[in-house]
Amino acid sequence: MAIFNLNINGKKQQVDVDPATPMLWVLRDHLNLVGTKYGCGIAQCGACTIHLGDIAMRSCQLPVSQVGNQAITT
């Protein structure tokens, strides 16, 4: 486990999760932000799309360890 400081929808959040945890599950299971949905799990359908900075990303395949200090918008 590791502690990550995230900026989600303009709000600072801290989570203690495995670095390989997909952002989808960090958002839904650890932060109770359930607007981002699980669809296919293979980054094809777009149900899990979030914005990392200005770039749309599929959160089901994006490990929390790759987010860094970028702002996340759900």
pLDDT digits (tens, 9 = 90+) for 4-23: 999 999 999 999 999 999 99
- The domains of the chain are located at 2-73
CATH number of 2-73: 3.10.20.30
Which helix (H) or strand (E) covers residue 8, if one does?
strand 2-8
Q: What is the largest CA-CA distance in the chain?
A: 30
Task: State pLDDT tens for residues 35-61.
Answer: 999 999 999 999 999 999 999 999 999
Measure the CA–CA gap between 52 and 28, rounded to whole angstroms: 16
- The per-type count for the chain, helices as H runs and strands as E runs, is 1, 5
Edge to edge, what strands does the sheet with 71-73 contain? 11-17, 2-8, 71-73, 49-52, 55-58
pLDDT at 52: 97
